[in-house]
Structure 1
Amino acid sequence: MNQSDGVRRVGEIEEFKALAHPLRARLLGALREHGPATATELAHRFDTDTGSTSYHLRKLEQYGFIAEAGDPGHPRARRWQAVHHVNDWSAVDMAATAEGREASAVMRRQQVDILIRDVVAYEAALSTLSDEWVEASGVGDLLPRLTPASLNTLWERFYAHVDELAAQDAGDPAARPVSIVVSGLPRLGDRS
């Protein structure tokens, strides 16, 4: 992955800490999913005050995660847009400092929180979904024995395949945003 592919490589701990803030991560996610928005629109979406939302948007702008989108219909309104499709970072570099480990832990837990919110919303809407979506949806877990090299190969192939399928389905009216939260962590100790 590289920046020409819409991927931003986060290298500095200060950038990573800015990204790991819970509200900032949600703001950036909303801009990626729903497109440009103002601080006021985002404050309504997340039930925060406009001042706080504006502050966090400026922090994201400071580190290059978002930029002004402009709004020809209202020149005084500051609309924000995500600059990159995805952020990535070196887990080894972030694990090298206490600040990096803390920010990484916040990011992992935010991803788990997203999964929980999506599962709750899915369960609430289950009776309204088509049989095709019900059959295709799910949560699973596996416990294969892999080396670090094989786990890296799995990540590369998984993301490449997701990109391929998303490109294939891009114009299909049956396509919807699908929440995919994945993890690959070595199992430590007895968890049975």
Structure 2
Amino acid sequence: MDDSTIKLVTDLAALKIVAHPLRARLLGALRMHGPATASELGRRFDESSGSTSYHLRELAKHDFVELDPEQHNARDKRWRATARYTSWRNSDFGDVEGREATRALRGNQTAFLIDKLERHDAAVDELEDVWRDTLAMSDYAAELSPESVRELQRRTLALVEELREKDRGRPDTRFVRLYLAALIDPDDQDAP
């Protein structure tokens, strides 16, 4: 994995662009499923192609997406994500407007995660046994330094990329969402 898989956002305007819920979903779909047209994305998200086209152009202004060089025809523009992941440092957005934008992004991420967890829970009993026995949630807690948390994040991402490459083309793969949240719980800070 190289750094081109991660788009580091340092500009407030770009952060606001990707904080928009539909834009985040469009970007996520392009990352997960590959290039698509505005019409295809509109059908996927029950939006007009005019709406998805506008939001794709807004994402393109800040290099989140670009036109796919492998266009199938001259009429339908296919878009692709420019990086596999988006990242930002909260400390780069310390003013009021920046804090509001990062809070909105975290809120979108939380709402998306809750939706995915609820949908997974509703469907898990219909999965094949091998998947039902494999999929799980874990809760780990440890006293770590900021450097160790960053190392954990870096190594987790590297492992995901390594395993993605190893499994490429296998017939038994499915899209699996993995979430890593490094959180400080204020209730744990007073523990003996």
Structure 2 length normalisation: TM-score? Answer: 0.88
Letter in 1 for 2:116: D
Shift of residue 73, structure 1, vs aligned partner? 4.3
Shift of 1:139: 1.7
Q: Which runs of 5+ in 2 are unaligned?
A: none
Please name the residue that 1:43 is paired with. 42
Which residue of structure 2 aligns with residue 161 of structure 1?
A: 159
Residue pair 2:71, 2:78 contacting (<8 A) in 1 also: no
2:131 to 130, 133, 136: 133
Partner residue, 2:31: 32
> In structure 2, do the counterparts of structure 1 residues 127 and 168 end up closer, same or farther at CA, with 3 Å as the change threshold?
same
Aligned partners of 1:23, 1:106: CA distance in 2, in Å? Answer: 13
Structure 1 residue 18: deviation in Å?
A: 0.7
| Match of residue 9 from structure 1 | 8
Q: Could you list the per-position Cα deviations for residues 14-72 of structure 1 after superposition, in whole angstroms to 9, with x for gaps in the alignment?
A: 11111111110000111111222221221111112222222111100111111112665
Q: Structure 2 counterpart of 1:139, which letter?
A: M
Task: Give the match's secondary structure for 1:58.
Answer: helix
State the distance in 2 between where 1:159 and 1:18 align.
24
Mean Cα deviation higher: 38-47 or 24-33? 38-47
Inter-partner Cα distance in structure 1 for 2:97 and 2:74: 40
**Is residue 5–residue 84 contact of structure 2 (8 Å, CA) maintained in 1?**
yes
Q: How does 1:162-181 map to 2 (within 5 A)?
A: 162-181=160-179
Paired residues in the alignment total 190
Unpaired stretches in structure 1, ≥5 consecutive residues = none
Structure 2 CA distance, aligned partners of 1:108 and 1:75?
38
- For the Cα contact (< 8 Å) 2:67–2:79, is it kept in 1? yes
Identity %: 39
How far residue 108 of structure 1 moved from its aligned partner, in angstroms, is 1.7
Instruction: Go from structure 1 to structure 2 and tell me whether the alpha carbon gap of 1:159 and 1:187 turns closer, same or farther (over 3 Å shift).
Output: same
Question: Distance between the aligned counterparts of 2:148 and 2:101, measured in 1?
Answer: 26
Task: Please tell me the root mean square deviation across aligned C-alpha atoms, in Å.
Answer: 2.2
Contact 1:67-1:83 at 8 Å conserved across structures: yes
Give the match's secondary structure for 1:74: coil
Q: 2:103 aligns with which of 86, 102, 105?
A: 105
Give the aligned partner of residue 57 of structure 1: 56
Q: Deviations over 1:132-191 (max 9, x none)?
A: 211111122222222222212221222222222222222322121111122111121469
- 1:67 alignment partner, SS class: strand
Q: Per-residue displacement from partner, 1:68-125 (whole Å, max 9, x unpaired)? A: 126654312222111111222222212x122222222222222222222222222232
TM-score (norm. length: structure 1) = 0.88
Q: Tell me the distance in 2 between the aligned counterparts of 1:110 and 1:33.
A: 18
Contact residue 68 and residue 80 of structure 1 kept, 8 A: yes
Given that 1:2 and 1:8 are in contact with CA atoms closer than 8 Å, whether structure 2 keeps it comes out as no
SS, match of residue 80 in structure 1: strand
Larger displacement relative to structure 2 (180-189 or 62-71): 62-71
Distance 2:109 2:72 in 1: 36
